[in-house]
Amino acid sequence: MKKLALASLDKFFETVAASRTLYLPVDTEKGYSEYKKWADGTKLSKALNTLRSAKDFFFPQTENLMDFKLSGKAIEVIDTRSETEDFVVFGVRACDAASFGVLDRVFLQDPVDTYYKNRREHGIIVTMACTKPAETCFCHTFGIDAAAPAGDVSVWETADGYCFEANTEKGEALMNSASSLFEDTDTAAVEEQQAKTREILKKLPLANLTTDGFGRGLTKELFNRPEWQKLSESCLGCGTCTFVCPTCQCYDIRDFDTGNGIKRFRCWDSCMYSDFTKMSAGQPRPTQLERFRQRFMHKLVYFPDNNDGMFSCVGCGRCLARCPISMNIVKVMKTMGGKN
């Protein structure tokens, strides 16, 4: 384990940013934290987490998939892909770091999504352990330890500095590129900080939330439960939950005629929207009940069914904080799950 002096953090950013694009959570004038590209003078946010998740780095909200040139009756397909440059995302929390594992299950499964894979291969994730988990946090429900985040490098903020531990070769290489800033240290300070965080985690309002009653093979038990009606009744279908969710990955593909060729885009989409499944032949999910149920059944049953029991939720709590009518996955789990 290596230690970086408190005062050396900006120097570390400068060193990293000299050879790679560096992104980190920054406080904005809008009153929340969001990932920004590092520039001289950029300060790391003290906020617990960013408003939007870190999924944008690998699965951007909008991306150009390919172009087409049409001339007469002919079509030319233009592959617009290019190799991504190396980049570093600093300050990712344990929940968001775990979300990449969920996204990998979708995008890296055969046939591989090369757009995602390219960014994933070139991205280096530096996580930061939480020190002040919030009342909306429930990552522990999904077996995630906020005090021991994954990623290529894990960082802990302690009383007199930052402790760094590389977890992968990519992480090792990143730390080597700034080796002069580090000194060796033992794990005592980290363990002390972890113990403090875990004490807070134990006292959180959602500390006892479990996944009991959800998981593989439970479609028949849960799908027709009457509770869906009441739970979905007030859902506005706004899609905010989907957009802030680190694991929501449904997408739309649409073409845009620029007047000088066609651009095909991929954009985030949401199963909460009425036109998500609408066809000229019909609509299998005609009301918000079916759409609402789909979102939670997918995260808590269908995804585990298809991914060795892995849930498609990491307990980041963004949907709890952002839903305009205060409906969320925790209410679904408490209403329909086991004893919570």
Partner 1 sequence: MEKEALIPYVGLITDIRQDTPDVKTFRVVSPNGGKLFEHKPGQCAMLSMPGISEAMISITSSPTNKEFMEFSVKKCGCLSSALHALEPGQMITVRGPYGRNFPVDDEFFGKDFLFVAGGIGLAPLRSVINYIRDKRENYGTIDIVYGSRSMQDLVDYKEIIDEWMKTPGFNVHLTIDNPQPEWDGHVGFVPNYVKELTPDLKKTVVMCGPPIMIKFTLGGLMDLGFSKEQIYTTMELRMKCGIGKCGRCNIGNKYVCKDGPVFRFDQLDELPNEY
Binding site for partner 1 (CB under 8 A): 65-66, 68, 70, 73-77, 79, 81, 83, 106-107, 109, 111-115, 118, 219, 223-224, 249-255, 257, 262, 264, 266, 269, 271, 276-282, 284-285, 290, 294, 297-298, 301-302, 305-306
Q: Pick the closer one to partner 1 by CB: 114 or 208.
A: 114
How far apart are CB 268 and partner 1 at their closest, in Å?
11
- Closest residue by Cα to residue 112 from 124, 121, 99, 125: 121
Residues 62 and 267: their CA atoms lie apart, in Å, by: 4
Residue 147 DSSP class: T
Nearer to partner 1, 140 or 285 (CB): 285
Nearer to partner 1, 10 or 290 (CB): 290
The residue with tokens 């299950």 is: 105
Range 83-102 burial, b when 16+ CB lie within 10 A, else e:
ebeeebbbbbbbbbbbbbeb
CB 173 to partner 1: min, Å: 23
Cis peptide before 25 (omega within 30 of 0): no
User: Which residues, other chains included, contact 75 with Cβ-Cβ below 8 Å and sequence gap of 6+?
Assistant: 68, 69
Which string of DSSP letters, residue by residue, matches 13-30? HHHHHHHSEEEEEEE-TT
Residue 5 β-bridge partners: 161
Compare residues 3 and 122 and give the one whose CB is closer to partner 1.
122
Nearer Cβ to partner 1, position 8 or 294? 294
Q: Which is nearer to partner 1, 159 or 279 (CB)?
A: 279
Smallest separation (angstroms) from partner 1 to the CB of 23 = 24
By beta-carbon proximity to partner 1, the closer residue of 145 and 290 is: 290
Instruction: Give min distance, CB of 320 to partner 1, in A.
Output: 22
- Smallest gap from residue 46 Cβ to partner 1 (A): 35
How far is the CA of 47 from the CAs of 21, 150, 249, 301, 307, in angstroms?
A: 22, 19, 25, 32, 32
Q: Which two tokens stand for residue 285?
A: 């999910």
**CB 97 → partner 1: shortest distance, Å?**
21
Query: What's the CA gap between 203 and 119, in Å, rounded?
Result: 38
Whole-number minimum distance, CB 24 to partner 1, in Å?
A: 29
